[in-house]
Chain A
Amino acid sequence: MSIAEPIPPAELKAKPPASPAKRNRRWAGYTHLLMARMKELKREPEVIFWVFVFPLLLAFGLGIAFRNKPADAPPVVIVAGPRAQDAVALLEHSPQPGAFKIQVQDADTALRGFRLGKYDLVIEPDAQGGFQYRYDPARPESTLARAQVDDALQTASGRHDVLETKAVTSSDPGSRYIDFLIPGLLGMNLMNSGMWGIGFALVDMRQRKLLKRFVGTPMRRGDFLLALLSSRLVLMLIEIGLLLTLGVVVFHMKVMGSLFSIVLLGSAGAVAFGGIGLLTASRAQKIESVSGLMNLVMMPMWIFSGVFFSYERFPAMIQPLIKALPLTALNDALRASILEGRPLSHQWPRLLVLILWGGISFVLAVRWFRWT
């Protein structure tokens, strides 16, 4: 062998004081994996944004857009003509004056404004001394304006109601849209970050041959998966904390259930979606293929699981299917716990749905999982 060695071998240089050989304990691998994962997440600005900032912005934006304010007086337009002022007078003498925003316009302007949604209702005095309403039954506010205007005109013209009725108002914290929204966003966020946090991370590591490299060490594979799941649980705690704080501080939401039960439900959700994420990513070799697969899995839940509006609107026939979805179970359980303070003992069917989804996916995933 001819050896040209212009560079002195490293070991001849000054060595740092040799530290005594250390022995690793049983959980050294797990702890290092978990710490490495947390550090990576912390150093990834996109993760911070999508997992923490984005849901807060969403909650904030939707909360502002749908905040409860006194219902706007419906804008109505009266077609100009000899009897237009009669209508104005009648409406102003109705039991709740100021209940409508009234304008008088010529027929063309009035109709154009109505078509553009500027007015909810067009009132046209007719030849018989009555009024004709033009409204759009497809627009709830139009239907409502028609009923209210009719009521006002009739009462002001001397109608007597034969049945005594009373109304009380209800807009307590707990029944507003933002109260409905925050637990739903929390559920959705746990799904998104669970699926991406586990599925994406795994396929990325597989694609980078890092999984194969790990398998070439004595690393316990169970510890690896456990560390990944644990990192999800830590993030879950932060996610819950942030969203609930936003709800309480900004929107004066009342959290009825105990923090313990909320965290327990959150953990069940994180585990369920962790399992599903693991299953989705168990064989995919490329980020592109797992992205498609993951969207396919999450799509039905975005639509059906009642994140932004109640799923009660879907046909009764598919309700059992909807309730079997893990996100539905998680959202329902979180709402019952946060908004109504329902104890966990009443939530077991939902917990069972979550545990079944998580458990079955986990078992299948481990069986099919490709490390290389």
Chain B
Amino acid sequence: MSSMAAAIQCRDLRKTYDGKVEAVRGLNLEIQAGECFGLLGPNGAGKTTTIEILEGLLEPTSGEVFILGHTWRENEREMREWLGISLQETRLSEKLTVRETVELFASFYREPRSSDEVLHELQLTEKADSWVGKLSGGQKQRLAVATALVCNPKILFLDEPTTGLDPQSRRQLWDIIRAFQRKGGTVLLTTHYMDEAERLCDRLAIVDHGQIIAEGSPSDLIERLGGHHVVEFSVTGNSDGAALEAWRKLPSVESAREDDGLVALNVQELHLAIPALLDEVKRQESELLSLTTRQASLEDVFVRLTGRHLREQ
């Protein structure tokens, strides 16, 4: 119980399923109250395993978890009052109405919020009397969040809340999450959408193979990538390892990688890199087929980090 301020804290978290699948391998997190924190990672990275351990639904193989300074072993009943949870895949009862479902969840808490208010906030008022089975995917996701919000939680855990939603529904959920945060709530969410993490999270951790491979604010991470710009181009002729090495040596280029004939460079100063690039193309006696430049995004951070990681394996 070191820092009273931390909303969620875990140390050296490990989870091994059936003695062989190492889903989480030594994870440390410290999330402050009022923060929106994202766990970003590919399928099977261990996001769900991590979040369910933090939620006290899964026993870790080793490691410690503190929620607002309390541990699950000592204080489970009380801690449940503070958390709003939405699991990755819960199928709520299809034959209950939206309102009945929210009221059922509300009934488990000592001092829940009014169901109508929550339904209104999640724009489900119109659907309040429809059966859950009749809702669209996006409405179901919002209902799942409603069951989490109705308890008036201090901390909201959302496991891939926007997977499978159209852009419009995703924005709606983002608004809801921000509104919760503005009222002082803490949010931990998992996602594999870079743009979602970039827009929503104050800080995030990129998880791969059960470990955090990078952590910080989105702009921090992009900064650390070593270049704000990405130059993508393709040229005629074979591109091999030697060619890639030549691109990397160009001035102001931080790193280079190749995907399917498309070369991507992380660049600090475009005005230095582009002329040099054109010279190099000429020197190689090949032709430039395409060239685009753009701002670096988390996607680039991710590809760069996990790319290197995957190549090592």
Contact = CB atoms under 8 A, between A and B. Distances in A.
Given A19-B117, A218-B110, 7 more contacts: A3-B199, A16-B125, A23-B110, A24-B112, A33-B104, A36-B104, A217-B105
Contacts of B111: 21-24
Interface stretch (B3-11, B78-86, B250-258, B270-278): B78-86
Interface in A116-152: none
Contact of B120 (A16, A31, A36, A39): A16
24 contacts: A7-B175, A9-B175, A9-B179, A18-B117, A19-B114, A19-B117, A21-B114, A28-B107, A29-B107, A32-B103, A32-B104, A36-B93, A36-B100, A39-B100, A40-B93, A208-B90, A209-B87, A210-B90, A212-B90, A213-B87, A213-B92, A216-B57, A216-B85, A217-B151
Nearest to A207: B91
A198 B111 CA distance: 30
B173 to A, nearest CB: 11
B85 A213 contact: yes
B121 interface: yes
B218 A1 contact: yes
A62 to B, nearest CB: 32
Contacts of A19: 114, 116-117
Contacts, number: 121
B35 interface: no
B104 A16 contact: no
B58 interface: yes
B248 interface: no
B178 interface: yes
A2 B199 contact: yes
Given A7-B171, A10-B176, A15-B117, A209 B109 contact: no
Interface string A173-211: 000000000000000000000000000000000001110
Interface string B160-193: 0000000010011001101100000000000000
A108 interface: no
A7 B116 contact: no
B81 A5 contact: no
A23 B92 CA distance: 24
B215 interface: no
A28 B95 CA distance: 21
B312 to A, nearest CB: 32
A315 interface: no
Contact of A18 (B110, B112, B114): B114
Given A11-B179, A29-B107, A39-B100, A213 B90 contact: yes
A40 B172 contact: no
Most B C-beta atoms less than 10 A away, residue of A2, A13, A16, A218: A218
B90 A218 contact: no
Contacts of B109: 24, 217-218
A138 B85 CA distance: 69
B175 A5 contact: yes
A233 to B, nearest CB: 20
B77 interface: yes
Contacts of A21: 111-114, 152
Contact of B57 (A6, A9, A15, A212): A212
A3 B175 CA distance: 10
A28 to B, nearest CB: 4
A219 interface: yes
Contact of A209 (B91, B107, B131, B198): B91
Nearest to A2: B199
A94 interface: no
A11 B121 contact: yes
Contact of B172 (A7, A31, A213, A215): A7
Given A21-B111, A28-B107, A216-B57, A39 B171 contact: no
Contacts of B305: none
Contacts of A28: 107-108
B117 A16 contact: yes
Nearest to A219: B108
B171 A5 contact: yes
A291 interface: no
Nearest to B110: A24
Contacts of B91: 208-210
